[in-house]
């Protein structure tokens, strides 16, 4: 099962804590625990993170939660990804570097992560908040 560094799940949980919404019920439904969220070195299942973002979006009544989280997010907090983006002189180069980095950092198969020569934005799906988070981080 693919995993990732857990940045988006931890950001969602910080937002839920600020909103005084109990974490345990949502984390349980997403297949996560508070201990996993609080341990920043622990990788989290990608599907669990997406599920948590969907649940939080519903509880907060915020269909653009991914966008709102990314809008106020300091890219330097995500470590290497910031430097991957900052080292690129043009957008196309930055996107290709992000795809390559994401494939490594998020254990995604390379066959699913290649960018076509002409940029295609992700379609809106059940993971639309995740897509909006990523798009905003990359272009914000």
For the cut 50, the answer to whether the pLDDT of residue 79 exceeds it is yes
Of 84-88, 102-106, 127-131, the least confident:
127-131
For the cut 60, the answer to whether the pLDDT of residue 29 exceeds it is yes
- pTM, two decimal places: 0.62
Please give the C-alpha separations between residue 90 and each of 43, 87, 111, in angstroms, as whole numbers. Answer: 31, 9, 24
Q: How confident is the model at residue 124 (pLDDT cuts 50, 70, 90)?
A: very low
Please give the C-alpha separations between residue 43 and each of 1, 5, 69, in angstroms, as whole numbers. Answer: 11, 5, 20
* CA-closest candidate to residue 29, choices 69, 58, 70: 58
Please give the C-alpha separations between residue 50 and each of 13, 104, 117, in angstroms, as whole numbers. Answer: 13, 19, 28
For the cut 90, the answer to whether the pLDDT of residue 107 exceeds it is no
Average pLDDT value over all residues in the chain? 76
* CA-closest candidate to residue 100, choices 91, 86, 110: 110
| 87/119 Cα distance (integer angstroms) | 20
Domain boundaries, the chain: 3-139
């Amino acid at each position: 099962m693919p995993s990732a560094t857990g940045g988006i799940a931890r950001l969602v949980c910080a937002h839920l804590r600020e909103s005084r919404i109990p974490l345990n019920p949502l984390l349980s439904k997403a297949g996560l625990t508070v201990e996993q969220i609080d341990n920043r070195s622990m990788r989290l299942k990608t599907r669990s993170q997406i599920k948590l973002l969907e649940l939080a979006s519903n509880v907060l009544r915020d269909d653009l939660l991914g966008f709102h989280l990314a809008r106020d997010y300091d890219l330097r907090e995500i470590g290497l990804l910031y430097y991957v983006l900052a080292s690129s002189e043009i957008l196309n180069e930055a996107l290709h570097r992000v795809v390559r980095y994401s494939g490594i950092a998020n254990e995604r198969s390379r066959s699913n992560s290649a960018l076509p020569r002409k940029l295609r934005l992700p379609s809106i799906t059940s993971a639309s908040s995740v897509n909006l988070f990523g798009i905003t981080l990359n272009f914000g």
